[in-house]
Amino acid sequence: MNELIEKIKHYGDEFCLLRVSIGPVQEFISEARKTRDLYIGSRLLSLATFRTMKPIFDTYGLEAIIYPHIKYSKERLSSLPNIYMAVIPKSEFHETISQMEIGLQNFWNDMQKEVNRKLPPDCKGYYNQKIKSPFYMNWVAVPIVIEELNSEYKPKVKEIIHFFNERKVTRTFDSWEGSYIQKCNQCGRREYPQEIYSSVQEKFKARIRENEILCSICLLKRLLNPDDIDVSPQKFDSVMDVSAAIAKKLIEQNKNEKHEIKEFTDNVKRIGNVIDNTYKNGECYYEDYLNYDFFKKEYGIPDNPDFRKLCEDTKKSLSAAYESLGIKEPSKYYSILMMDGDNMGKLMSGEVKLTSGDILKDADFTLNYQKKLSEILADTGSNTSELIKSQEEGNGNGLCVYSGGDDLLAFLPLETSLSTANKARSCFISEFRKSNIKQTSSAGIVILHHKDPLRRGLEEARKNVEEAKKSFKDKDAFCITLRLFSGSVVTWGYKWEIRTPTLQNLDSVKVLDVLRYFVSFMLESPEKKLSPSFVRDFMEELPSFYEYNERKSTWKLSEEMFKSEFWRLLKRHMPSESNLWKVEFKKGILTLDLLAESFIYMADPEKNNQVKNTKENFENFLQIALFLVREQIGGDLK
Ligand SMILES: [Zn+2]
């Protein structure tokens, strides 16, 4: 018998299956101008969710929570999904719901107290429990008896999910109608706290930009530190911290080796002392930002000739440091990676695909089975967040905003984006495979510039996840959008893996690996690298490989022409003595053969009938490759 049932049966026979969601999701995980706000916002939502669960498991034990599986760690508790399912005794139902609501209100009061402590003396008391809570709780419950928990679990789950989806409501926000009051720059909905604003802004110059207007809720998110809410500190406050991560790591590793680098890091430390930020200082790694105007805007630094000179000196030592390391300045572009399990609703309501090809029998979808799914998701969530955050070579070196198991939001430097996306997907699939479940996921990746609004990147990443799922049969795909600062936008979508019939020793090829190898070849040292002109020349020739069939109104690719031109241009653009000609991707398979065969496959309309315009999609792939060669400070083959 199930542990949960064992534990609750003394309450009698009547229970409720309860499904709860805590909001507002949109506001807390996508409305942000800084990665820091996003991180804090997302963690607050998880912690709020946790506080509403607490009355349930304090009284009935952790077993009473069916989904998600709760792992007791700082990181996991602050990355909980905002939806959960539980079983509670029917007789205690109203009492429990009211405890949960009180828990949510208390959480908000605690957060207000926390931020109140930080305010300058003349503003103390502002957050004294008078700001209306942004959090709310929606729930649906269906009655269930022990017998049903034991043997008719699946129909009950389907029923509750059905009700839950019907009841989903979008919340309207209360906001003051006055039109002369300035609205918050971040959420655009609430007015700003005039009474305290100038005083708070003065005290937190380094955190609130000049001219930035924040409402009391967005301000609370901005002022709270990870420490204040007991979540793990993050290494990144801004997108500059993310994009510079790999260059910064190289500088740190070599600062005692070369005096040019030491000089630069000493200067950066001096700037850090002035701006009161010695650690999350990605901006110091860019020539364009090392000037007084930038620091004045971001940190409210008063004008002073010494500081101006320090900026100048740092700028000079910066180029010397990069030169001595043999790298260029890091890119001003970074990646947003959003990943989402495919058909999760079906999975969690019992339509489980097995690796054997069968579908799980209804009777086998028991309470225990669902708990197992919850555990798989919890493990995936923690493994993925480790992968994203890990500073080790070959790992993400990025910021994990949330990783709830079936969904992921992360920020990554360009240098690690492709391999990390691949690994995150593998991690998801393999965790399910261990339990003989066939489960896939799809991703949206957006590459964007520091100055491109974060909100737009997040919207686009979400759209790309949907696009990947919609465009490809059986989903299991990704879409990458490159948003150039000049305004042009390039999108490339594909299945994660392809099977090329010509490479017989290979089961399948990961498409992002093809891109990684291709880019890395072009980032090799000058005497052996593949010149990026290869891509330009090849793109010029590309249209001539296609022929239009009027009768069928389809395009046909001439494989022969494609292939011979590929190798001809390769010979022209890569030195004949380069060792890259012989590099093996796997024993017995040359990387160049892998590239050639994958390219032909990806460019062929007959093999890509799910792609709207195969040629254009392939051209976009080449464009993205060229961009990465231009922007990455090195290849990514770990
Ligand atoms: Zn706001």
Mean pLDDT by 10 residues, the chain (638 residues): 81 93 85 87 95 95 93 85 95 95 96 93 83 93 93 93 75 47 83 89 89 92 93 89 95 93 96 90 96 91 93 96 95 98 94 96 94 95 95 92 93 97 97 96 97 93 96 95 96 93 78 96 95 97 94 91 97 97 91 94 92 94 97 79
Using the mean position of ligand 1's atoms as its centre, give its distance from the Cα of residue 436 in Å. Answer: 45
What counts of helices (H) and strands (E) characterise the chain?
23, 16
CA distance 66 to 62: 9
Using the mean position of ligand 1's atoms as its centre, give its distance from the Cα of residue 35 in Å. Answer: 15
Using the mean position of ligand 1's atoms as its centre, give its distance from the Cα of residue 215 in Å. Answer: 4
In the block, residue with structure tokens 């919340």:
171
pLDDT at 175 (0 to 100)? 44
The answer to whether 46 and 78 are in contact (CB under 8 A) is yes
Using the mean position of ligand 1's atoms as its centre, give its distance from the Cα of residue 118 in Å. Answer: 19
Using the mean position of ligand 1's atoms as its centre, give its distance from the Cα of residue 403 in Å. Answer: 24
Using the mean position of ligand 1's atoms as its centre, give its distance from the Cα of residue 192 in Å. Answer: 8
Using the mean position of ligand 1's atoms as its centre, give its distance from the Cα of residue 113 in Å. Answer: 19
Using the mean position of ligand 1's atoms as its centre, give its distance from the Cα of residue 219 in Å. Answer: 7
Using the mean position of ligand 1's atoms as its centre, give its distance from the Cα of residue 597 in Å. Answer: 51
pLDDT at 637 (0 to 100)? 62
Q: Which two tokens stand for residue 391?
A: 């500073």
CA distance 416 to 396: 6
Q: b or e along 225-246 (b: 16 or more beta carbons within 10 Å of the residue's beta carbon)?
A: ebeebebbebbbbbbbbbbbbb
pLDDT at 638 (0 to 100)? 58
Residue 336 has phi, psi (to 5 degrees) of -105, 125
Using the mean position of ligand 1's atoms as its centre, give its distance from the Cα of residue 39 in Å. Answer: 15
CA distance 420 to 428: 12
The answer to whether 288 and 322 are in contact (CB under 8 A) is no
Q: Kindly list the structural domains of the chain, giving each domain's residue range(s) and its CATH number in brackets, ordered by start.
A: 3-167 (3.30.70.2220), 245-325 (no CATH), 331-495 (3.30.70.270), 497-638 (no CATH)
Using the mean position of ligand 1's atoms as its centre, give its distance from the Cα of residue 466 in Å. Answer: 27
Using the mean position of ligand 1's atoms as its centre, give its distance from the Cα of residue 425 in Å. Answer: 34
Using the mean position of ligand 1's atoms as its centre, give its distance from the Cα of residue 220 in Å. Answer: 9
Q: Report the Cα–Cα distance between both ends of the chain, in Å, rounded.
A: 47
Residues 6+ apart with CB under 8 A from 540: none
Using the mean position of ligand 1's atoms as its centre, give its distance from the Cα of residue 224 in Å. Answer: 15
Using the mean position of ligand 1's atoms as its centre, give its distance from the Cα of residue 239 in Å. Answer: 20
Nearest to 219 by CA among 295, 119, 121: 119
Q: Which two tokens stand for residue 254?
A: 């070599």
Using the mean position of ligand 1's atoms as its centre, give its distance from the Cα of residue 279 in Å. Answer: 27
Using the mean position of ligand 1's atoms as its centre, give its distance from the Cα of residue 456 in Å. Answer: 17
Residues 6+ apart with CB under 8 A from 451: 332, 485
Using the mean position of ligand 1's atoms as its centre, give its distance from the Cα of residue 338 in Å. Answer: 24
Using the mean position of ligand 1's atoms as its centre, give its distance from the Cα of residue 190 in Å. Answer: 6
At residue 507's C-alpha, the angle toward residues 504 and 509, to 5°, is 100
Using the mean position of ligand 1's atoms as its centre, give its distance from the Cα of residue 76 in Å. Answer: 27
Using the mean position of ligand 1's atoms as its centre, give its distance from the Cα of residue 437 in Å. Answer: 42
